[in-house]
Amino acid sequence: MAATIWYEKDADLSVLNGKKVAILGYGSQGHAHALNLRDSGVDVVVGLRPTSKSVDYAKEQGLEVKSVPEAVAEADIVMILLPDQYQAQVYKEQVEPNLKPGAALAFAHGFNIHYGYIKPTEDHPVFMVAPKGPGHIVRREYTNGRGVPVVVAVEQDPRGDGWDITLAYAKALGALRAGAIKTTFKEETETDLFGEQDVLMGGINHLCDMGFDVLTEAGYQPEIAYFEVFHELKMLVDLANEGGLNKARWSCSDTAQYGDYTSTVINEETKKRMEYQLKRIQDGSFAKEFMDDQAAGAPKFKKLQEEYSHPHLETVGPKLRAMFSWNNQEDADADMAESFNGKIARTQVQ
Ligand code: NAD
Ligand code: MG
């Protein structure tokens, strides 16, 4: 069955007229949602802890900022853009007690609803607008007149207007310029976790670092190894983004293609492991392990972060990246500034 995809013409922004949207959090996604919605003419209030460094930053950008309980109390739509592991506690203590009757709850990732860490009462519409890209790109594309695609879902629809609100929100975010694909909280959560842990990060990150180890342990120069197993990845990904795997393959030599087709590294055993990881996502054991560790002060997470904080590739990474003039372009600087703001927010959390 073909996916349902919505565009600009399918949504009516006036659905949001007279409605107040509270954006909780001003990190990667939060700043992009708040600014894009505001620039689309939506009445936005940002909800933050009064001690957060982001308060001044959001105010400087002309946004109204209140405490989380105050922002929630006046909102018709509450978009929760806090780190996933803190959402349930903030919801219980500061959101739920202050929610207006019938106010809609929104998310950019289905994790807390799907695994039942947040259980809104039936009178609240619950929807998702999940950008398929980091927040600073969501903002940059909007200001450039384009948009980052989103996946959208409605989990609770007590009044029957859930999809109208969801699509209007996605349009205000600029996302319908690119398109919104219909999904469910279950599908988005499980596939998002699978993608990041088994292909995009848990797959690629380890693959590159291990490839670097194999070459350097065999006596090759680390600088050469970095180029061969890491640097060229971006160019292949860019080609694949433009024209799929066929374009990436077409652009490579026949020698490279033949090596690709005959390599034994990714094999049926890898597929079995992926299926095993997917089971752990589907039965909730990955979520439980992550959330239990977070609730205990994240000892395992912090240990792993420390353990992985010196990728072997990075022994030569900074030196080689300094050779690339395009890393100094304005776009890259702007991206860094935005991410840095996200980082500040992140470190304040505990
Ligand atoms: P983030 O860590 O960048 O920002 C979180 C924000 O929440 C910060 O402003 C922080 O100060 C604030 N915050 C943290 N604890 C708080 C508390 N107790 N009270 C009030 N504010 C608090 O988070 P993010 O990466 O933008 O993720 C937000 C949501 O968006 C998550 O559900 C995530 O899964 C989803 N998402 C993220 C991305 C991405 O690329 N970063 C992409 C799609 C979806
Ligand atoms: Mg994702």
Asked if 109 is an active-site residue, the reply is yes
Tell me the three state secondary structure of residue 201: coil
What is the Å distance from ligand 1's center to 82 Cα? 4
pLDDT above 90: residue 28: yes
- Give residue ranges with CB within 6 A of ligand 1: 25-30, 48-49, 52, 54, 68, 81-84, 86, 90, 108-109, 130-131, 134-135, 342, 345-346, 348-349
The answer to whether 183 touches 5, Cβ cutoff 8 Å, is no
Length of the chain in residues, anyone? 350
% the chain with pLDDT above 70: 93
The residue nearest atom 36 of ligand 1, judged by CA position, is 108
Predicted local confidence at residue 324, as pLDDT? 77
Which residues are in the CB-under-5-Å shell of ion ligand 2?
192
**DSSP-based three-state secondary structure for 235:** helix
Place of tokens 């219909």: 182
| Average of per-residue pLDDT across 196-205 | 95
Distance 258 CA to ligand 1 centre (A): 43
Ligand 1 atom with the shortest distance to the CA of 107: 32
User: Contact 33/147 with Cβ under 8 angstroms?
Assistant: no
Identified catalytic residue from 109, 114, 136, 312: 109
pLDDT at 107: 98
Is the Cβ–Cβ distance between 203 and 292 less than 8 Å?
no
Q: What is the pLDDT of residues 105-129, one digit of tens each?
A: 999 999 999 999 999 999 999 999 9
Strongest mean pLDDT among 151-155, 247-251, 321-325: 151-155
> Could you report the per-residue pLDDT of 265-313, keeping only the tens digit for each?
999 999 999 999 999 999 999 999 999 999 999 999 999 999 999 999 9
Q: Are 348 and 55 in contact (CB under 8 A)?
A: no
Ligand 1 centroid – CA 190 distance (Å): 19
Kindly report the average pLDDT of the chain as a whole number. Answer: 93
* Strands lying side by side in the sheet with 77-80: 5-6, 180-182, 150-156, 126-131, 104-107, 77-80, 20-24, 43-47, 64-66
Based on its alpha-carbon atoms, the radius of gyration of the chain, rounded to whole angstroms, reads: 22
Is the pLDDT score of 347 beyond 90? no
